[in-house]
Structure 1
Amino acid sequence: MMRPARAHPLWLAFVLHRVSGVALALFLPLHFYVLSLALTAPERLDGFLTFAEQPLVKVAEFGLVFLLAVHTAGGLRLMAMEWLPWSAPQKSLAAGAVGFAVLLSGTFFLQVI
């Protein structure tokens, strides 16, 4: 019996790559705004940096690094799928990419708490 395509690990990797891309695209304008505060309103930047020390913000930073790592790994997976003659091991490589993203973002998280 065949599983539906949406239960396939590579379909889940596809969805995770798209969701991480959208989330990073939504974050980018906020990031540029905060960077602009350094030039236009340093006192507001200081207030934001104080706010950024809260534990919930640290957890959000973990999420951001996780999204970046997942998106990078997903992009590398897509390039490999296009350029390399893969077959059955694609599932393991996709799981390895997610595992690497968790390891990388977890390492970052442990350094900032």
Structure 2
Amino acid sequence: MPELMQPLRNHESYLAFLGHRLSGLALAVFLPFHFLALGLALEGAERLDAFLVFAELPLVKVAEWGLVTLLTLHLCFGLRLLALELLVWPYRNDPRLRWIFPGTAAAIAVGVAFYAQVW
């Protein structure tokens, strides 16, 4: 009798997959705002200063913290994904699943460090 396939959502690395994709989407949403800030810098000091005053609002600071944390999460899980796709793995149950926690921990550590610098 053939072995039943395990649903993908029950796999241990599904949250890493989901974290990588969702953080990538969040970063894609952020990019237009980043280009807006760069464009304001080109328009003159007054426009940039007005934007920088806006950037000091607490909600914007929280959004910046979330962005840096998501960027680190996207980087760590993206490196894990590259290793999964490009390296040869002889065993089905190998240490690759153990890379999820360090990637998450690194993202949290960078987020905490950024939070400490911003506030």
Sequence identity percentage: 51
Cα displacement string for residues 15-65 of structure 1 (whole angstroms, at most 9, x for unaligned residues): 110111111011101100111101114322211101111222111111000
RMSD of aligned alpha carbons: 1.8
Is 1:89 equivalent to 2:103 in the alignment?
Answer: no
Find the partner of 2:112 among 93, 106, 109: 106
Q: 1: CA distance between counterparts of 2:50 and 2:11?
A: 46
In 2 relative to 1, CA 3–110 (structure 1 residues): closer, same or farther, beyond 3 Å?
farther
Aligned residues: 112
Deviation at 1:3, TM superposition (A): 6.8
Cα displacement string for residues 58-102 of structure 1 (whole angstroms, at most 9, x for unaligned residues): 111110001110111111001111233264322221111111111
Q: 1: CA distance between counterparts of 2:24 and 2:64?
A: 16
Partner amino acid, structure 1, of 2:75 = T
Find the partner of 1:15 among 13, 18, 36: 18
Structure 1 residue ranges, 4+ long, deviating more than 6 angstroms after superposition? none
Q: In the alignment, what sits opposite 1:70? A: 73
Which runs of structure 2 are paired with 1:16-55 in the superposition (5 Å)?
A: 16-55=19-58
Secondary structure of 1:9's aligned partner: coil
Name which of structure 1's ranges 81-90 and 38-47 shifts more when overlaid on structure 2: 81-90
In terms of fraction of residues, the more helix-rich structure is 1
Scaled by the length of structure 1, the TM-score of the pair is 0.88
Secondary structure of 2:38's aligned partner: helix
Unaligned runs of 5+ in 2: none
Q: Which has the higher contact order (CA 8 A, sep 6+)?
A: 1
Scaled by the length of structure 2, the TM-score of the pair is 0.84
Q: 2: CA distance between counterparts of 1:34 and 1:100?
A: 28
Q: 2: CA distance between counterparts of 1:99 and 1:4?
A: 26
Q: 1: CA distance between counterparts of 2:6 and 2:85?
A: 24
The structure that has the greater radius of gyration is 2
Unaligned runs of 5+ in 1: none
